Structure 1
Amino acid sequence: MNGDFIEALDQIEKEKGISKDILIDAIEAALISAYKRNYGTAQNVKVYINRECGEVRVFSVKNIVETVENELLEISLKDAKEIDSNYEIGDVVEKEVTPKNFGRIAAQTAKQVVVQRIREAERGIIYDEFINRESEIVTGIVQRISKGNVFINLGRTEAILTPSEQIPGEVYKHNDRIKTYIVEVKKTTKGPQILVSRTHPGLVKRLFELEVPEIHDGIVELKSIAREAGSRSKISVYSHDENVDPVGACVGHKGTRVQAIVDELKGEKIDIIKWSDDPEELIASALSPSKVLKVIVNESEKTALVVVPDYQLSLAIGKEGQNARLAAKLTNWKIDIKSESQYQEHSEDLIQEQE
């Protein structure tokens, strides 16, 4: 190695932010292994690299002892004093053993170490960047699909969209541009592993933050989300400014804002309701688009009996119970839905029992 190599390390330090001293220390450690591997020696050695000119020198290291038991690791006091009369028992003797052709091995090893350290540093930078972006949206391009996993190119790295995080029925094609939600960033030996989702309720939340400036600015607050990915989502919103309609802000002029989100989610229906402190009002709104006649709440058990017109019962419950299920998730209340006639029968039965 030579001065050009040291200059190259200086350049790497400036461009990549990797300390030259750390690189040289790593190269010295790697050269010890390279020396032992190439010259079949079991002795202790040290490697020194001149920080100015890049010269590499190898030294055997032996402890000074009274009785030598291992000539590779130890030297007698008598032999040590022939090298330097100041040596004493317990001192360490270093003797140069640099092979003639070691420069070529040193250069090859140094290159491998530098490339590896640069790769590690870049992985570290990518990890640091994405670990701070957990629970955020990223836009990427579908790179490849393998065993059901979709690999998404995010620029300097890629994310993995596993089958469990994919929207049911959604088809992903090479070069598709999609938005995903970062669920987790893991540090692995091969670099950061970024796990993303298309089904997470957080994706809906972040999409509304992108599309609705009032949410981004904190004027409108997204209170809760209930989602069955690929089918339907319900969100409750609240305005901190009485002059701003939270539902209207999320829907946008002629529905443009919510439609952009529906398009991104490939047609997933989204119900937007106004959040309320009053549980009766909140539960009635959560069962939208169904009309609600009455809500009877039990605060202690956090259960609610909801009465709807007879012709609206199936709408309130929804296909396979979806509307009622999402309303319960959104409000965090257990909801029992009855038609008007069912409720009247139930009331009459109670009266008769009391009589």
Structure 2
Amino acid sequence: MNTEFIRALDQLEKQKGIKKEILLDAINQAILNAYKKNYGSNAEVEVSIDTKKGDIKIINPITIVDDDKVDILDNEMTVEYANQFFGKQYKEGDIVREEVTPKDFGRIATQAARQIVVQKIKEAEKDIQYTEFKKKETEIITGMVSRIAKNTVYADISILGENDIMITAEGVLPNGEQMSGDTYELGQNMKFYILEVKRTNNKTQIVLSRSHPGLVKRLFEMEVPEIFDGTVEIISISREAGSRTKMAVKTNMQDVDPIGACVGTRGQRVKNITDEINGEKIDIIEYNDDLAEYITASLSPAKVVSVEIDEEEKIAKVIVPDDKLSLAIGKEGQNARLAAKLTNWKIDIKCESEMLGQV
């Protein structure tokens, strides 16, 4: 090795975030293995690397023993021998560090170092990729569709890690996480929700979603400053991706209209979000601590006559005008279903005439 090689390790630390100390430890072990393999040595030698000049030395540590010892081991020498060949400063128990670097070892050491550095770079990149993307779970990322295999979509994604290092990966959008109405074309840019980051066979797998309610939540956080800074809070979201979403919001600020903040001037904020999710309808209601009022709002746009709460069964019995029953239930039960998911209550909807008939 030489000074250029050492400088290269410094660059790797800056560009890829791989600690120089980790690389040096790995290089040390690789050179040690190469020495033992090429020179058939079983001695407990050490590797010394000059981190400024890049010089490599093989050191054989020898323990000084008493002159009267009979069975001298390979890694031992007597005080008399040490004083004769290494100087008179040694006494029993001291260590003589004898250099035993072979003349032609430089080429072997450099080759071993390069091989281990390449290996460690690959390992470190995998570790950094997993660690940095794991931090991004439940966040939104923009990706470019790179390939489509059967019903699975793959997208090229990238993030900035520590020290502004660009980290790239391929995310996978399974069929079950795709949004009805979406079309996917190679080279197409779109926003995804990072659903899960996991390791499979030492490979990072990043599962994306277009159907998760978290996508809508994050889009509103990006679009609405009042949500981002906490002035308006999203309490709950229920979603049937590609069709309709219901979202409950609230604020503790008297002069702030939480629904108006989400909708924006002339509806521009909510329009920007619906454009991103292909025109999916979004109902925004104001959360209310009064459960009956909250459930009434959740069934919007239908009008509600009364709500009876059964705390034991956790059922809300809702009465609506006869001409609003179909609106309250919604097409194929969608409105009632989303309201139930939003409030986390079972909702039993009946019309006024039906209730009068039971009296």
* TM value normalised by structure 1: 0.82
- 1:157 is aligned to 168
Q: Is the 8 A contact 1:307 1:340 kept in 2?
A: yes
- 1:200 is aligned to 212
Q: Is the 8 A contact 1:140 1:152 kept in 2?
A: yes
- 1:48 is aligned to 48
- 1:75 is aligned to 74
Q: Secondary structure at the match of 1:98?
A: coil
Quick one: which of 217, 237, 241 aligns to 1:225?
A: 237
The structural deviation recorded for 1:257 is 1.9
- Which letter maps to 1:215? I
Within the alignment, does 1:299 sit opposite 2:302 as a pair? no
- 2:162 is aligned to none
Q: Which moved further from structure 2: 48-57 or 226-235? A: 48-57
Within the alignment, does 1:9 sit opposite 2:9 as a pair? yes
Q: Is the 8 A contact 1:317 1:323 kept in 2?
A: yes
Point out where structure 1 has 5 or more consecutive residues left out of the alignment.
69-73, 349-355
Q: Secondary structure at the match of 2:283?
A: strand
Q: Secondary structure at the match of 2:74?
A: strand
- 1 CA distance for matches of 2:242 and 2:254? 33
Return closer, same or farther for 1:67/1:189 CA change in 2, 3 Å cut-off: farther
The structural deviation recorded for 1:324 is 1.2
The structural deviation recorded for 1:124 is 4.8
Q: Is the 8 A contact 2:140 2:194 kept in 1?
A: yes
Quick one: which of 255, 268, 273 aligns to 2:285?
A: 273
Point out where structure 2 has 5 or more consecutive residues left out of the alignment.
85-89, 159-166
1:109-128 aligned within 5 A: 109-128=112-131
Over the matched positions of the two proteins, sequence identity in percent amounts to 53
Quick one: which of 244, 256, 259 aligns to 2:271?
A: 259
Within the alignment, does 1:135 sit opposite 2:138 as a pair? yes
Quick one: which of 177, 181, 185 aligns to 2:197?
A: 185
- 2:163 is aligned to none
Q: Which moved further from structure 2: 98-107 or 119-128? A: 119-128
- 1 CA distance for matches of 2:217 and 2:34? 54
- Which letter maps to 1:75? D
Return closer, same or farther for 1:78/1:201 CA change in 2, 3 Å cut-off: closer
- 1 CA distance for matches of 2:258 and 2:211? 24
* TM value normalised by structure 2: 0.81
Within the alignment, does 1:319 sit opposite 2:331 as a pair? yes
Q: Secondary structure at the match of 1:138?
A: strand
The structural deviation recorded for 1:62 is 7.1
Within the alignment, does 1:339 sit opposite 2:342 as a pair? no
Q: Is the 8 A contact 1:43 1:61 kept in 2?
A: no
Q: Is the 8 A contact 1:80 1:93 kept in 2?
A: no
Q: Is the 8 A contact 2:305 2:320 kept in 1?
A: yes
- 2 CA distance for matches of 1:66 and 1:165? 76
Q: CA RMSD in A?
A: 3.1
- 1 CA distance for matches of 2:276 and 2:75? 79
The structural deviation recorded for 1:95 is 5.2
Quick one: which of 102, 105, 127 aligns to 1:102?
A: 105
The structural deviation recorded for 1:20 is 4.0
Q: Is the 8 A contact 2:232 2:258 kept in 1?
A: yes
